A and B are shown apart, each in its own frame.
Chain A
């Protein structure tokens, strides 16, 4: 079964600093990978997704992620944090080998942005 692990349940950065949120996947074949963001009292919004077209994926709000098969990673980055980036971020996986058309989520990383 596919799974993802998010390292660090809480990440704090200064405004203008680099954001790095970590996600490692476990899958026997390269999976489909997603990053979602959840603002307080809101639903989940897709930031970006990896579908094997390109290893470096650009998403909304200046975020990007790089798929690294050798490291089984799909870390999310943003060069310069903004106060509005404070939210909960979820990495998710969907397998190519069946298992149902479902997303399996990581445990989430809360991003705090300080002045």
Chain B
């Protein structure tokens, strides 16, 4: 049983296209995230949702729009793809509330296998 699953694993598309990446977790977690890993392996958070509510939006271009239909799913839609969007996108989930305080802060995040997006 895959805890955090993303689809597709690979995505090759042309500039200007619109694409979506889907993520599902079966861990019963309340919080889900999107991270972007660039070509130098640097990981940066993009968004965080807690119980379908957007909690963190780290100055990501408006072309990126996350959607959480329920707390087990967090999808990422990207409009008008650019060359610079090429990266590996990771979905993750963890227990806990939106602030990270209280009893939840020590819970780790569980990551999906990543989606390698290549824009040509």
Contact = CB atoms under 8 A, between A and B. Distances in A.
Interface of A: 32, 34, 36, 38, 41-46, 49, 51, 88, 90, 94-105, 107-108, 110
A42 B37 CA distance: 12
A110 B42 CA distance: 12
Interface in B52-98: 55-56, 90, 92, 94, 96-98
B45 A88 contact: no
B42 A96 contact: no
Given A41-B114, A99-B100, A100-B56, 13 more contacts: A32-B105, A49-B106, A49-B108, A96-B101, A98-B101, A101-B94, A101-B98, A101-B99, A103-B45, A107-B41, A108-B41, A108-B42, A108-B43
5 contacts: A42-B113, A46-B108, A46-B110, A49-B108, A102-B100
B45 A43 contact: no
A100 B48 contact: yes
Interface residues of B, number: 32
A79 B101 CA distance: 34
B101 A43 contact: no
Interface string B96-120: 1111110011101111111000000
A101 B96 CA distance: 7
Nearest to B45: A102
A102 B56 contact: yes
Given A34-B108, A43-B114, A101 B55 contact: yes
B100 A95 contact: yes
A65 to B, nearest CB: 14
Contacts of A88: 41
